[in-house]
Structure formats: structure tokens, C-alpha cells
Amino acid sequence: MKNVDYIIVGDGYAGFFFAHQLIRNNKTFVMFSEKKKSASQVSAGIINPVVLKKFTTFWKAQEQIDFLKNTLKEIENYTGQNYLIDAPIHRIFHDENEQSLWLKKSGNDDLLNFLDKNFDRLNVVKNDFLSGKVNQSARLNVNGFFTGLFDFLDKSGKLIREKFIYSDIDVERSTYQDFTFKNILFCEGMGVVQNPFFSDVPVNPNKGHHIKVELSEKITENITIKKKHFLFPVNDRLYFYGGTYDREQLHHEIDESAVEQLKKGLMEFYPHPFEIKDINFGFRPTVKDRRPIIGRHPEHHNLYVFNGLGARGILNGCYFSKSLYDFIENNIPLHEEVDLKRFIIKS
């Protein structure tokens, strides 16, 4: 039998940021990863402290931004790669009213460090009412992040490319196949609905499409442009544009109405020809109260869940991985707002 402190089930932001907590604290673990891309792995990677529809911020935004930047520096120490892309978001204003609202809210204490009071005129795209820059916003190099961490775990003997079989867990003896473990952490996104231990966790799928396009006129600034959706360069040729939000059309196929929505959204501010080169989608695990779900199973105290990261998967996954680690290892209570106990889970 192989002895490990943790088994991690799932390979999205929750799983990898928790794995980082284990690495920095010299804990032994393995991660089970199926050979398919999670919603995290096809995400945009936007790091944004502002809700850009209403120009508001959210719970612990500054703390989460600071913690993420420090964590990515720590990860760079063992992967050798910097995955933070310093490309701020520029929100294109629809009209003068949005300009005025932005300026008004930029004086609020909670937005003072995020909403830049100086407006910019962008090249190439249509922005008659200028754009506002979100300070401290950035992007994660999503492909680099997952490629680098998968490679690191694989070379370290911590990655198991197999489907996790729930029925092979012996909770009383703390064994799984040929492993003995102290704890198992389930970070499965929407896969949690198939988990017999946490199937009652109230996560809801939110389907998001994005497209990759080839632009006839390149955007010269190193920025992320936001109007209805986000536009940013993937490489010298392709740009990412997305993503949509859909709680109704939940089939596992491309939804042409979502693609049409993206095309129209891009044409609103990009007045030049473009060609769609790729279409993709994923299912974000969302929670009604817009808080992650982390905690311990009510009966099996060596089983834990980390889910419901939603559209802010990077910030939520990074920040609350530390909260969960401290809860398990140091008995530090979880925030009530994210604790699994706020829901009734069948034991």
C-alpha cells in the first residue's frame, strides 16, 4: 500500500490551488485526473476585481487579488514559469451615463483602487464613449498554468490519469485501491452530482461558450477589452472572445444561438472582418448565493468537498484553498459564507 496524506479528485482550479497548499506544506498526495478538459482548463483566465455590469466589487476582492499574486510567485518557484499576464481590462462605455457612473463609483472606498479615473480611447475598435481601465486586473495564462502544473505533478509521481471509482473507497479503513490516505478532497466541478458522498451539494451548471477568432486588423495594445464579453489575444494570430452564460441550454453540444450571440457582440465594437477558427464551451459550477462550497462530510470526517467556484474560479480557487487547508490541518473555522454547513447535506 502507498501512504499519502491526501487524495485529490479533480483537476480544475480548486484541485490545483489546493495541491499548491500541500506542496508548500510538504504534504504527500496524489491527484486523480480524467483525460478530458475541465471547465477551468477552457476558461478565459480573467482576473478581475470588479463586476463590470454595475461597476461594483465583491467580497474580499482585494484580499483575493493580493493572495493570488503571491501564490503565483510561489508556483513559479517550482514550475519555473510566470503565468500572470499583466494585461489590464478596459471596459468600453456604452454611453455618457456609464462614464458618469464609473467616475462616481471610483471615489467609493471599496473601488478606489480598482476604477481608474482617467479614460482612454482605444485603437482599432469602436469606443465612441471611451473606455475605463480596471486597475489590478490581469489574466492567467490558462494553457501554460495547467500544462506546467500537470507536467510538474506527473514528473513528481503525483498525477494519476484515471477515473476515480467511488465504490473503491473504504472510508472506515481510509483506503482506496492500493492507497492509504488521511483525507480525500473532491474538486470535481459539475462532476460532483455523480459523487455518492456529495451529490446533494447544490451546484448548478452554467454553460459558457467562447470563440477563437482571427482578426483582420490586430489590436496593438496589450489589454483585455470588455463590452458584452472579453476579447484578448491568445497568440499572434488568434483572439479569445467570450464567454456566454446559459442556465437553460445544458446539452453537451455547441449551441448555435450562443455562437451567434458572440458574433453580434464582437461586431458591436470590432468594425472589421473576422473569422471564427474555434468554438468551445464548458459548464461552470455555480451556487445560488454566489459563494464557494467547502467543508467536511457530516458523517465521514476524512472526506471533503471544494466546489462552486463559478465565474471567479481563479480567485475563489486560490484564496479558499488556504482556508480549506487551515480548516483541515489547523482546525481554523471556515467562513460561514462558504462553509458546507450552510446547506443540509444528507449523511
Q: How is residue 232 written as a grid cell? A: 484578448
Cis peptide before 243 (omega within 30 of 0): yes
Statement: residue 38 has pLDDT above 90: no
Do 324 and 18 meet the contact criterion of CB atoms below 8 Å apart?
Answer: yes
The number of beta carbons lying within 10 Å of the beta carbon of residue 34 is: 15
Q: Integer distance in angstroms from the first to the last C-alpha of the chain? A: 28
In three-state form (DSSP H/G/I as H, E/B as E, the rest C), the secondary structure along 193-211 is HHCCCCCCCCCEEEEEEEE
- pLDDT of 311: 85
Residues near 218 by beta carbon (within 8 Å), at least 6 away in sequence: 124
Note the pLDDT tens digit of each residue in 174-206. Answer: 999 999 999 999 999 999 999 999 999 999 989
- pLDDT of 345: 62
Tell me the whole-structure pTM to 2 decimals.
0.94
- pLDDT of 242: 94
